Structure 1
Amino acid sequence: MSSQLPMSKSRIGFYPGTFDPITFGHLDVIERAAALFDHVIIGVAVNDGKHPLLSLEERLDSVQHEVTRLPHRGRISVRGFDNLLVDAVHAAGAGTVIRGLRSAGDFDFETQLAGALRRLAPEIETVFLLSSEEHRTTASRIVKEIARLGGDISPFVSLDVAARVRAKLAHP
C-alpha cells in the first residue's frame, strides 16, 4: 500500500493552467473541484511558450474576479507561478493536481503529464475531472481565434472576460 498524505495536504487541490482567457469550461472544473476539496488553489502559469494574449497580471485579475461568483468561493484562492509544476504544488501546500478533460486527446496528453508528475513527486496525486458536456468544445485558443476574427465569444466566456479580450485585441 502506498504511503498516505497528511489529511491537510490531501484535501488541498491545485488546478494549474494558463487561463488565457478563463472560460466557462475552466469555471465548471473549478466549481466542481471546490465542492470536492477543502481548498482549491488556481495556479495561473506564466507559460511564455504559449505566447499569451493577456499578461500574467491580467489573467490573475480575471481569474480572481470570475471565481468570486462561484458558490464555494471561500474555498478558492488564485496565485501565479513560473516554475516547475511540482515545485508550485509543493509551495502551495497541495497534495493533488486537478486537471480538466474535454476529449480523448486531452486524456492522452494529461496521462503523460500525470506520469511525469508521478515520477518527479510520487506523493502528489492527479485527479481528472471530465468537463460538462456543454463545455467539451471550449478551449482558450479557440476563443482567442474567434475573437481575433471578430466573432462573438460570449457563449464561452463571461461578459467581463469578453470585454477584456476585445480591449486587448484592439490595443495589442
Structure 2
Amino acid sequence: MRTAIYPGSFDPVTLGHWDIIQRAEKLVDKLVVAVLYNPSKSPAFSVEERVAMLRELVGDRPNIVITSFHGLLVDFAKSQGAQFIVRGVRAFSDFEYEFQMALMNRKLAPELETVFLMPKEKYSAVSSRLVREIGSMGGNLADLVPDTLRERIAGRLQKP
C-alpha cells in the first residue's frame, strides 16, 4: 500500500491546500493529512478546529485520513507506514525552504521520499498567512478558502 503524509499547519485550510489534497489523493492508496502541533506559533484556530475543518472538507473519502501529530515529521511518517511526504510548492521561495526540509528529512529517514506538487496557478499566491491577514481586515475570502468553511474562517479572523 502506497501511503503519503501531507503535513502542515492548515491555519486556516485554503483552496491551495485543498487542491494539493486532491492531487495527492490520486497518487497513493492512502493519504494522511496531518496537522502539526507547533507550540512556537500563535494559531488563529486550534489544532482540533483545523482537524475538524479538514474532515468536513474531505467528507467520506475512504483513502484520506485527517489527524494531527507532535514531534518530528519523519517519526510520524514511519508510525503511519508512509513511504512519501507530500509538500505543496507555490513559488521558488517555497521550493528553497521545502528543498532544505526534504534534504534533512532524507538524512533522518532515507527510506522516505518527498514529493513536491504544484497547485493550480490560480492558487499560487494563496497562503494561510495572507488569508489570515485579509480576513482580519474584513476582506473577501472567496476564491481563497473553501466555500463550506468561508463563514467560519471569516468569523474567526475578523477583528472587532
Task: Say if 2:113 is the partner of 1:122.
Answer: no
Residues 23-66 of structure 1, C-alpha deviation per residue, up to 9 Å, x if partnerless?
11001000011011111000111113231100011000001111
8 Å Cα contact 2:4-2:28 kept in structure 1: yes
Q: CA deviation at 1:171?
A: 8.1
Task: Say if 2:48 is the partner of 1:57.
Answer: yes
Q: What is the aligned partner in structure 1 of residue 30 from structure 2?
A: 39
Q: How far apart, CA to CA, are the structure 2 residues paired with 1:161 and 1:123?
A: 36
Aligned length: 160
**Higher helix fraction (1 or 2):** 1
8 Å Cα contact 1:100-1:130 kept in structure 2: yes
Match of 1:110, SS state, is helix
**Superposition map of 1:36-115 within 5 A:** 36-68=27-59, 73-115=61-103
Could you tell me the percent identity over the aligned residues?
Answer: 40
RMSD: 1.6
Where does the alignment leave 5 or more consecutive residues of structure 1 unmatched? 1-7
Counterpart of 2:9, as a letter, is: T
Where does the alignment leave 5 or more consecutive residues of structure 2 unmatched? none
**Superposition map of 1:130-141 within 5 A:** 130-141=118-129
Give runs of ≥4 in structure 1 deviating > 4 Å.
none
Match of 2:26, SS state, is helix
Q: CA deviation at 1:161?
A: 2.2
8 Å Cα contact 2:136-2:158 kept in structure 1: no
Q: What is the aligned partner in structure 1 of residue 13 from structure 2?
A: 22
Q: What is the aligned partner in structure 2 of residue 4 from structure 1?
A: none
TM-score, length of structure 1 as denominator length: 0.88
Match of 2:17, SS state, is helix
Task: Say if 2:4 is the partner of 1:13.
Answer: yes
Q: What is the aligned partner in structure 2 of residue 3 from structure 1?
A: none
Q: How far apart, CA to CA, are the structure 1 residues paired with 2:13 and 2:93?
A: 20
Q: How far apart, CA to CA, are the structure 2 residues paired with 1:97 and 1:153?
A: 29
Q: What is the aligned partner in structure 1 of residue 147 from structure 2?
A: 159
